[in-house]
């Protein structure tokens, strides 16, 4: 009996070129499946084969749980019925089923499945060093959901229809190029997959057409793609004598046209990479006339002001241009026309000025002077070095010291108001996740307790503090949480 298992493992291993461990695992699973049929209730069975002798042992396992968590006696045992810790396993040795008496079809199915999984794993391992690169293949089979692509030497890959460029049609026998990837399919292990709509597809095609890229004279720094429609690719040269855009375009556009033809005439924008995100955005936006860019490094966003004439071009059809530029830069973009930007800036300045006038007991001119010199909040004034504030024209040490102290006193008072000592549940700090800096900012804008925050709309909140729509919505819902507790 034991020799029979060893003979099966030896024969299948030799025939399929698979490790014996995979065959033993398949036989263990087949034996466990046969053992489970002994029990009317569900059961957890484990079979362990000695690879040297072919002998095996069978165990039934239960998970140790508390009485409250007990749900299935077939898989679980209550802790007070054993000395084991919760989460551990109780193992009981049971009689083996004979290998020769296993239902042949069940055993065969398990072994065949395991063999196929092991074969796929071997193929994936063989191709692992070229994952992410461009490969050639021939369409072997076409279904409604995917295409089977023959890569040669017995290797196959799946090309899902969702990974095709919109409008593409392939038939059996057609040759194609795609980027090789690894896909983990549920209960089937790893297998090779292909994609023609991923950004890497564009980069790999340029590597083929532009020798300077494969020689690393030119680097592809970022790719943003709307498959079948438009792609932006940012490139950088490591040799100042070479124009990276010109090299990628080629003589009379031959190189870029070859890539575009492979992608179904997809439009390709090649731009110069720049480490400065603002300059990179300008390069990416192309001929759009940008009048100002305001960066918010905390939120990773940019407010981009453009002329009214180029606003539609900056946004692009269905927001395509701004979306691709956002992917290239890695920043969230808020594109507005110049007039709206100036109006927004003026509103912000007036709002800040009124806060300084109210809390520091200064006139509007002095508040405007502070703002123009970069002191646009009570926090920035309270933490300003005396010598730095004193360098402002018209200020001396006495005025600077007075302003710093007033700002500190106001912030302390506000901090006491937003977080009361008597444990009231209505203050701003009672909102889950609320930080003191945000609470102080809200207080300065007239929102002094949880109820006032809860009554705000997203539009109202984003108009008075610098916060995204998503973050504003989340903050408001957290402030309203107590409304739904009952």
Phi, psi of 2 (to 5 degrees): -65, -40
The average pLDDT across 356-363 equals 79
Q: What is the pLDDT of residue 184?
A: 62
Q: Which CATH architecture has domain 428-484?
A: Orthogonal Bundle (1.10)
Q: Where in the chain is the domain with CATH 3.30.300.20?
A: 274-347
Q: Where in the chain is the domain with CATH 1.10.150.20?
A: 361-418, 428-484
The average pLDDT across 206-211 equals 93
Q: Decide which of 410 and 458 is more confident.
A: 458
Question: Mind listing the pLDDT tens digit for each residue in 162-208?
Answer: 999 998 999 999 999 999 987 766 556 667 889 999 999 999 999 99
Q: Which CATH architecture has domain 131-197?
A: Beta Barrel (2.40)
Q: What is the pLDDT of residue 226?
A: 93
The pTM (predicted TM-score) of the whole model is 0.59
Q: What is the pLDDT of residue 395?
A: 83
Q: Decide which of 155 and 277 is more confident.
A: 277
Q: Where in the chain is the domain with CATH 3.30.1480.10?
A: 2-119
Q: What is the pLDDT of residue 486?
A: 54
The average pLDDT across 448-457 equals 85
Percentage above 70 pLDDT, the chain: 89
Residue among 226, 206, 232 at smallest CA distance from 328: 232
Q: Which of 53-57, 208-212, 339-343 has the lowest mean pLDDT?
A: 339-343
The average pLDDT across 459-472 equals 80
Q: Decide which of 366 and 48 is more confident.
A: 48
Q: What is the pLDDT of residue 368?
A: 82
Q: Decide which of 162 and 341 is more confident.
A: 162
Hey, which of 57-61, 348-352, 459-463 has the most confident mean pLDDT?
57-61
Confidence of residue 229 (pLDDT cuts 50, 70, 90): very high
Q: Decide which of 159 and 357 is more confident.
A: 159
CATH number 3.20.20.70 is the correct assignment for the domain at 2-119: no
Q: Which CATH architecture has domain 274-347?
A: 2-Layer Sandwich (3.30)
The average pLDDT across 143-155 equals 87
Confidence of residue 233 (pLDDT cuts 50, 70, 90): very high
Whether residue 385 has pLDDT greater than 80: yes
Q: What average pLDDT does the chain have? A: 82
The answer for residues whose C-beta is within 8 angstroms of residue 220's C-beta and 6 or more apart is 203, 206, 207, 213, 233, 234, 235
Q: Where in the chain is the domain with CATH 2.40.50.140?
A: 131-197
Q: What is the pLDDT of residue 104?
A: 47
Q: What is the CA radius of gyration of the chain?
A: 34
Contact yes or no for 4/97 (Cβ under 8 A): no
Q: What is the pLDDT of residue 210?
A: 93
Q: Just give the CATH number of 361-418.
A: 1.10.150.20
Q: Decide which of 185 and 125 is more confident.
A: 125
Hey, which of 117-131, 140-154, 392-406 has the most confident mean pLDDT?
140-154
Distance separating alpha carbons of residues 200 and 223, to the nearest angstrom: 8
Distance separating alpha carbons of residues 438 and 442, to the nearest angstrom: 6
Whether residue 305 has pLDDT greater than 50: yes
Whether residue 1 has pLDDT greater than 60: no
Whether residue 408 has pLDDT greater than 90: no
The average pLDDT across 236-258 equals 92
Confidence of residue 451 (pLDDT cuts 50, 70, 90): confident
């Amino acid at each position: 009996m034991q020799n029979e298992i060893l003979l099966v493992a030896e024969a299948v291993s030799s025939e399929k070129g698979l490790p014996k461990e995979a065959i033993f695992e398949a036989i263990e699973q087949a034996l466990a499946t046969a053992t489970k049929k002994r029990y009317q209730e569900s059961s957890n069975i484990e079979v362990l084969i000695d690879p040297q002798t072919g002998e095996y042992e069978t165990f039934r396992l239960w998970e140790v749980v508390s009485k409250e968590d007990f749900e299935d006696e077939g898989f679980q045992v209550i802790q007070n019925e054993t000395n084991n810790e919760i989460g551990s396993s109780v193992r009981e040795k049971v009689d083996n089923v004979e290998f020769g008496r296993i239902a042949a079809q069940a055993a065969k199915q398990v072994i065949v499945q395991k063999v196929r999984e092991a074969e796929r794993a071997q193929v994936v391992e063989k191709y692992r060093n070229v994952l992410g690169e461009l490969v050639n293949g021939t369409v072997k089979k076409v279904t409604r959901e995917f295409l089977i692509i023959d890569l040669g030497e017995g290797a196959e890959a799946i090309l899902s229809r969702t990974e095709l460029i919109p409008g593409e049609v392939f038939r059996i026998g057609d040759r194609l190029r795609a980027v090789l990837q690894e896909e983990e399919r549920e209960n089937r292990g790893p297998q090779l997959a292909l994609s023609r709509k991923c950004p890497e597809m564009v980069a790999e095609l340029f590597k083929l057409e532009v020798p300077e890229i494969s020689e690393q004279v030119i680097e592809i720094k970022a790719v943003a793609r709307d498959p079948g429609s438009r792609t932006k690719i940012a490139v950088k040269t490591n040799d100042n004598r070479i124009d990276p855009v010109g090299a990628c375009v080629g003589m009379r556009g031959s190189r870029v046209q070859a890539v575009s033809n492979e992608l179904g005439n997809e439009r390709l924008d090649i731009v110069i990479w720049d480490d400065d995100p603002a300059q990179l955005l300008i390069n990416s936006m192309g001929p759009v006339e940008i009048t100002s860019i305001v960066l918010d490094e905390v939120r990773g966003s940019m407010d981009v002001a453009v002329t009214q004439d180029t606003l539609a071009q900056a946004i692009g059809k269905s927001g395509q241009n701004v979306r691709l530029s956002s992917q290239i830069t890695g920043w969230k973009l808020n594109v507005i026309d110049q007039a709206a930007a100036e109006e927004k800036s003026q509103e912000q300045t007036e709002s800040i000025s009124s806060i300084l006038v109210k809390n520091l007991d200064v006139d509007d001119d002095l508040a405007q002077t502070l703002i123009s010199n970069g002191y646009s909040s009570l926090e920035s004034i309270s933490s300003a070095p005396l010598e730095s504030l004193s360098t402002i024209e018209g200020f001396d040490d006495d005025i600077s010291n007075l302003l710093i102290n007033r700002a500190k006193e106001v912030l302390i008072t506000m901090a006491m108001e937003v977080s009361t000592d008597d444990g009231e549940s209505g203050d701003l700090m009672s909102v889950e996740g609320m930080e003191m800096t945000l609470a102080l900012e809200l207080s300065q804008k007239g929102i002094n307790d949880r109820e006032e925050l809860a009554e705000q709309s997203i539009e109202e909140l984003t108009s008075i503090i610098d916060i995204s729509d998503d973050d504003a919505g989340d903050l408001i819902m957290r402030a309203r949480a107590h409304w739904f507790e009952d």
